[in-house]
Amino acid sequence: MKLLRYKVAERAALGAEKDGGIVNLDGLGFGSMLAIAAGGRSALEAVRAHLWKATPDLATKDATLLAPIERPGKYLAIGLNYKKHVEESAKIGVPAPKHQLWFNKQTTCIVGPYDDIDPGVTEKLDYEVELGAVIGSNAKGVAEKDAPQHVFGYFVANDVSARDWQFHTPTFTIGKSFDTHGPIGPWIVTADELADPHALRLRCYVNGELRQNSDTSQMLFSLWQQIAYLSTAFTLETGDLIATGTPEGVGIGMNPPRFLQPGDVVRCEIDGIGSIENRVRIKL
C-alpha cells in the first residue's frame, strides 16, 4: 500500500493511494501515521480491508500532499555509503570512513514532497537523492537477518545539504538540518510491497538534467546492516526515519561544483516508490 498524509480544509488527513486517487482513512480511528506504524500487522490489515472496498475521495493530482509521517523522534542519515560517492568525495578532501558514518537531520527540517526549499544563509546548496525507511516495531540489538521485520515502509528523500555549513563541525548535523532541507514522500510504500529495497533505481534531476543515476544495490552497507549497527547503540523507535545514503553526482563533487540556485527545480525519484519535486525558493 501507499500510505500518505494530505491537507483537507487546512487540516492534515490520513489517506492511501488507489487507482490514481486518495481514499481517506480518518474513519478507521488511527489518528496519525505513527499510530498505523505502531499498530503493526493488524493495523495494516484494517487499512487494506478498508482500501479494498472503498472508492477514492479525490484525485491524487488535486491534493496537497504533506510529509507522509508526523514529526518522528529521530531522522538518521548515513554518509558516504556508495562507492562512487566515496570516490568523488575523496577528490574534495573528504576521507573514506572506517565505520558507518552517521549524522542526525533535525526533524524540524522535514517538509512535504512538493514543498519549496528555502536556501537560508547557505551559499552552497546541494541535493542528494536517497532511499528512506520508516521504522515499524522498536529495534534494539537487532541482528542483520532480523532487521527487515522492523521496517514499516519506504519513501523518497532529498537530503538537502548546506555544504558550507556542513563542514563547520565534524557531525555534519547543522549543515544537514536547515528548515525545509528534508523533503520526503510522496507517501510511504509499505514494506510488503517492496520485495528487495536493495534493487531499486534512483535518480535525481535538476531542471530536467539528470545528475544522479544509480541503484540501491550499490550501497556499501545495506539497510539491514544499518539497522543492526544503529540498534547496537540505541533503540530505534516506531516512526524513526533512516536515510540510506546517496550515490555519486552531487553538486559539490563536480568540477567545478554546481550548487543549486534560486528557482531551480529538483526532482528525486525511486522506482517502485515514486518521486518528489521541490523548487528552490527565490529570495525576495
The tens place of each residue's pLDDT in the chain, 284 residues long, gives 999 999 988 899 999 999 999 999 999 999 999 999 999 999 999 999 999 999 999 999 999 999 999 999 999 999 999 999 999 999 989 999 999 999 999 999 999 999 999 999 999 999 999 999 999 999 999 999 999 999 999 999 999 999 999 999 989 999 999 999 999 999 999 999 999 999 999 999 999 999 999 999 999 999 999 999 999 999 999 999 999 999 999 999 999 999 999 999 999 999 999 999 999 999 86
pTM score above 0.85: yes
Whether residue 185 contacts residue 113, with contact meaning beta carbons closer than 8 Å, is answered with: yes
pLDDT at residue number 104:
97
- H-run or E-run covering 44: helix 33-53
Q: What is the torsion angle, in degrees rounded to the nearest 10, for the CA atoms of residue 250, residue 82, residue 3 and residue 153?
A: -160
* Cβ count within 10 A of residue 171: 12
User: Per the structure block, which three cell numbers stand in for 188?
Assistant: 510511504
Q: Kindly provide the residue ranges of all beta strands, DSSP E only, lying in the chain, ordered along the sequence.
A: 2-8, 11-18, 21-24, 58-59, 65-66, 75-79, 101-104, 110-111, 125-126, 129-135, 151-158, 161-162, 182-190, 201-206, 209-215, 241-243, 265-270, 274-279
Q: What is the pLDDT of residue 175?
A: 98
Q: Are 239 and 69 in contact (CB under 8 A)?
A: yes
Torsion 84-89-95-98 (CA) sign: negative
Distance CA 280, CA 203 (A): 18
* Cell numbers for 246: 546517496
Please, is 173 exposed, middle or buried when counting C-beta atoms within 10 Å of its C-beta (0-12, 13-18, 19+)? middle
